[in-house]
A and B are shown apart, each in its own frame.
Chain A
Amino acid sequence: MTDRTAILDTLRAQIESFNKKGIEVTEATTFQGDLEWDSLTVMDFVAAIEDEFEIIITMNMQAEIETVGQLADAVEKLKD
């Protein structure tokens, strides 16, 4: 299993606890448009991801991330 697949699996698992609409999650799934998360949900989710990977995703970076795939890219980069 590649690093990226592992990251995506972890992201999917974390998304599930916030996925109230039961959306099928792919790399193209958007947090705002598809999952319809509000800013409070985003904050809790980001904190969970940060703790999981022991990283910091600054608000500047968060503003650039729209999809699950982009988040995986960011986590991959930050973990190095």
Chain B
Amino acid sequence: MTESGLQPEALPAEATPVAPERDLFSKFDPLLAERDALMSSGVRDPFGIVMEQVTSPTTAVIRGKETILLGTYNYMGMTFDPDVIAAGTRALEQFGSGTNGSRMLNGTFRDHVEAEDALKEFYGASGAIVFSTGYQANLGTISTMAGRGEYVILDADSHASIYDGCKMGDAEIVRFRHNSVEDLDKRLGRLPKEPGKLVVLEGVYSMLGDIAPLREMVQVSKKHGCMVLVDEAHSMGFFGEHGRGVYEAQGLVLGEDVDLVIGTFSKSVGTVGGFCISNHPKFEGLRFSCRPYIFTASLPPSVVATAATSVRKLMTAHDKRARLWSNARQLHAGLKALGFALGTETCDSAIVAVILQDQAQAVVMWQALLEAGLYVNVARPPATPSGTFLLRCSICAEHTPEQIDRVIAMFATAGQLAGATS
């Protein structure tokens, strides 16, 4: 279209100003004003952090200061694994820096297939499809699996990519109260029997770090004749005997209880990308129908090579798994003892969320931690449930117990400063 002849001869000397009511940017006014007010109170921008150097899976240099990373989702610490880096380097040299194309055309190289094979082995699945991001894996799978006249039933606290997958597709969307088996049952009971239904669940909900009662939810879903998709983005590698996720830890079986599992390469695997796995005999049909899979460029060869190597190493990463859980329990217990309100009563996952009163308290405390040499995530509505403000910690297998001790000490000081501990 760039060579279309229908173009004005010349632009006017001065552009006509757009009236405020027609300025499409006006909708950002409240957001920009809120941000200006926050910034003018003298705090640093929680959404503008730059890692100048990354020195290990658990440390980086931010504004010249060595900082402990406690908000990266690098659960298994695979980003600096020598085998993973070697695989990526070899692929970069042998296959070049990128694929230039769609998986469906020129964008499938040896290591895309290799990454899918590694996933099939990891999950004991007959099918695996690798997407360019975890977001696209949810977007593509949900919007393609449930069509017009069919239903998607989702948890109210679902990740944005699940909501967006629903919005993109043509199915009817029904949501139920977060982690409520009773509410799910009630809502499924009110839907017409005939149409196909997909219940979308998450193993770990990433804002508070709470886990889903998947066993009960799957039982209810199957009773009503639904298929089940579980997003295990925040559990891969350290839940269940083979590290397959919360569904495995709760004794559920792929192909019997769970029809589709969504995952990501950007957390435990330590690179970027997303995937869907299944044991369904017609699973490949999804690949040929899924727009977020087809109409985008595939991952660079170095990325899929690192992913394949990392996934295979995660199958036997028992020591890392034990260290991760030990670190998570140490942090959860330490912060609880200090009197912080936490997202979960017990240490249920590798996410520990500190619940704060409001944005000002969250940002004051976040900044105090950063200046002391600790990076955590700030989370605010609408990403958080019930309008809460959170400081979220995600723990890494490569944190040392000494680092966790230092983290707890930094929280003690910052919590007093912000008036967040009782």
Contacts of A40 in B (CB 8 A): 386-387
A55 within 8 A of B: yes
Query: DSSP majority for the B interface?
Result: mixed
Stretch in A8-16, A25-33, A56-64 with 4+ CB within 8 Å of B: A56-64
A39 within 8 A of B: yes
In the bound complex, CA of A50 to CA of B175 (Å): 12
In the bound complex, CA of A40 to CA of B382 (Å): 9
CB closest chain-A residue, reference B163: A59
CB closest chain-B residue, reference A46: B175
Are B382 and A39 in touch, CB under 8 angstroms?
yes
Are B173 and A58 in touch, CB under 8 angstroms?
yes
Instruction: Specify which of B156, B172, B183, B187 is in contact with A60 (CB 8 Å cutoff).
Output: B172
Contacts of A50 in B (CB 8 A): 187, 190
Chain B interface size, under 10 / 10 to 19 / 20 to 34 / 35 or more:
10 to 19
A47 within 8 A of B: yes
Are A59 and B382 in touch, CB under 8 angstroms?
no
- What count of chain A residues pass the 8 Å CB interface test? 13
As a 0/1 sequence over residues 43 to 54 of chain A, the CB contacts with chain B under 8 angstroms (1 = contact) are: 100010011001
B168 within 8 A of A: no
Looking at B174, B191, B382, the one whose CB has the most chain A CB atoms below 10 A away is B174
In the bound complex, CA of A39 to CA of B386 (Å): 10
Are A56 and B175 in touch, CB under 8 angstroms?
no
Are B190 and A59 in touch, CB under 8 angstroms?
no
In the bound complex, CA of A51 to CA of B187 (Å): 9
Instruction: Specify which of A38, A39, A54, A59 is in contact with B174 (CB 8 Å cutoff).
Output: A59
In the bound complex, CA of A47 to CA of B382 (Å): 19
B222 within 8 A of A: no
Are B177 and A60 in touch, CB under 8 angstroms?
no
Are A58 and B156 in touch, CB under 8 angstroms?
no
In the bound complex, CA of A56 to CA of B173 (Å): 10
Contacts of B190 in A (CB 8 A): 50, 54-56
As a 0/1 sequence over residues 138 to 158 of chain B, the CB contacts with chain A under 8 angstroms (1 = contact) are: 000000000000010000100
Query: DSSP majority for the A interface?
Result: helix
Are A59 and B175 in touch, CB under 8 angstroms?
yes
Contacts of A55 in B (CB 8 A): 190
For residue B403, give the distance in angstroms from its CB to the closest CB of chain A.
37
Known: A59-B166, A60-B172. A47 touches B177 (CB 8 A): yes
Contacts of B387 in A (CB 8 A): 38, 40
CB closest chain-B residue, reference A38: B387
Known: A39-B382, A40-B387. A56 touches B191 (CB 8 A): yes
CB closest chain-A residue, reference B186: A51
In the bound complex, CA of A7 to CA of B78 (Å): 58
Contacts of A60 in B (CB 8 A): 172-173
As a 0/1 sequence over residues 166 to 205 of chain B, the CB contacts with chain A under 8 angstroms (1 = contact) are: 1000001111010000010011001100000000000000
Contacts of B174 in A (CB 8 A): 56, 58-59
In the bound complex, CA of A43 to CA of B190 (Å): 17
In the bound complex, CA of A61 to CA of B112 (Å): 40
In the bound complex, CA of A59 to CA of B183 (Å): 16
Contacts of B166 in A (CB 8 A): 59
In the bound complex, CA of A43 to CA of B154 (Å): 13
Contacts of A47 in B (CB 8 A): 177, 183
Contacts of A58 in B (CB 8 A): 151, 172-174
CB closest chain-A residue, reference B187: A56
In the bound complex, CA of A54 to CA of B191 (Å): 10
Contacts of A51 in B (CB 8 A): 186
CB closest chain-B residue, reference A43: B156
For residue A61, give the distance in angstroms from its CB to the closest CB of chain B.
8
Contacts of B156 in A (CB 8 A): 43
In the bound complex, CA of A67 to CA of B123 (Å): 48
For residue B185, give the distance in angstroms from its CB to the closest CB of chain A.
13
CB closest chain-A residue, reference B172: A58
Contacts of B175 in A (CB 8 A): 43, 59
15 contacts between A and B (CB under 8 A): A38-B387, A39-B382, A40-B387, A47-B183, A51-B186, A56-B174, A56-B187, A56-B191, A58-B151, A58-B172, A58-B173, A58-B174, A59-B175, A60-B172, A60-B173
**A: which residues have CB within 8 A of B?**
38-40, 43, 47, 50-51, 54-56, 58-60
- The 10 A-B residue pairs with the shortest CB-CB distance, nearest first, are A59-B173, A58-B172, A56-B190, A58-B174, A60-B172, A58-B173, A56-B174, A60-B173, A56-B191, A43-B156
Given A39-B382, A47-B177, A58-B174, list of 16 further CB < 8 A pairs?
Answer: A38-B387, A40-B387, A43-B156, A43-B175, A47-B183, A50-B190, A51-B186, A54-B190, A55-B190, A56-B174, A56-B187, A56-B190, A58-B172, A58-B173, A59-B173, A59-B175
